[in-house]
Amino acid sequence: MSSVDTRTFFDIMGTAPAAVTVVSTIEVGGTPRGMTVAAVSSVSADPPSLLISVDHRSRTLPDLLHAGRFAVNFLRGDRSDVSRRFASSVEDRFEGVEWRPGSTGMPILHADSLAWAECRVSQRIDAGDHIILIADVVAGSPPPPLTRPLMYFRHHYEAWPGQVEDGRPGPVTPPIAGSSDGAVIDLARVTPAKLDRV
């Protein structure tokens, strides 16, 4: 079967802005390990779970698999330097980085992150040159109001534009233009079929 070349694939996928995270874990000896990961997605609400997709060649992968646990640290909008560091060949990526163990012991980059999720791996799925880890979210911290995440979009870093106010409980703000009643719509609960109607 034919497929698009890698460059075209990356260009297509770069159309979707992605939050930049540092996925961290603990080595057997207790040393923190981590790598930059943008392939993070919510999977299920009950139980709360997410997935990350990690290159088979990643040097962090054996530690992730061995620990069976990791934290997803969602970087703040102005922390592209941290993203670069955790994607680089620097030997000790945690040197000079503020971190503390979370409630499950996973390294939390609390000074550089606006939210984090501590996870326990429940499934591994081989997918081409990556492995997908599905994990239950067992602890975590949501973002404080008005904080903005670091995004990766069209091969560039961007801080999420504009101020973001929390729409709790539930809804995402602002209302979608053209929605019939101007009500705020919780996109997380909108299926594609429903989206056609708003």
Ligand X SMILES: Cc1cc2nc3c(=O)[nH]c(=O)nc-3n(C[C@H](O)[C@H](O)[C@H](O)COP(=O)(O)O)c2cc1C
Q: Which residues bind ligand X (CB under 6 A)?
A: 20, 35-39, 53-55, 58-60, 83, 87, 152
Cβ 38 to ligand X shortest distance, Å = 4
First to last CA, the chain: 37
In the complex, the smallest distance separating the C-beta of residue 4 from ligand X, rounded to whole angstroms, is 19
State the Cα angle at 135 between 132 and 140, rounded to 5°.
130
Cβ atoms of residues 88 and 34 within 8 Å: no
Which strand (E) or helix (H) includes residue 61? helix 61-67
Question: In whole angstroms, what is the distance from residue 155 CA to residue 15 CA?
Answer: 9
- Cβ proximity to ligand X, 152 vs 185, nearer residue: 152
Report how far residue 149's alpha carbon sits from residue 129's, in angstroms, rounded to the nearest whole number. Answer: 28
Least distance between ligand X and beta carbon 152 (Å):
4
Q: Which is nearer to ligand X, 24 or 49 (CB)?
A: 24
d(Cα 165, Cα 146) in Å, to the nearest integer?
A: 5
CA dihedral in degrees (103, 105, 107, 108; nearest 10)? Answer: 0
Tell me how far, at minimum, the Cβ of 21 lies from ligand X, in Å: 8
- Rounded least distance, CB 188 to ligand X, Å: 21
Nearer to ligand X, 127 or 195 (CB): 127
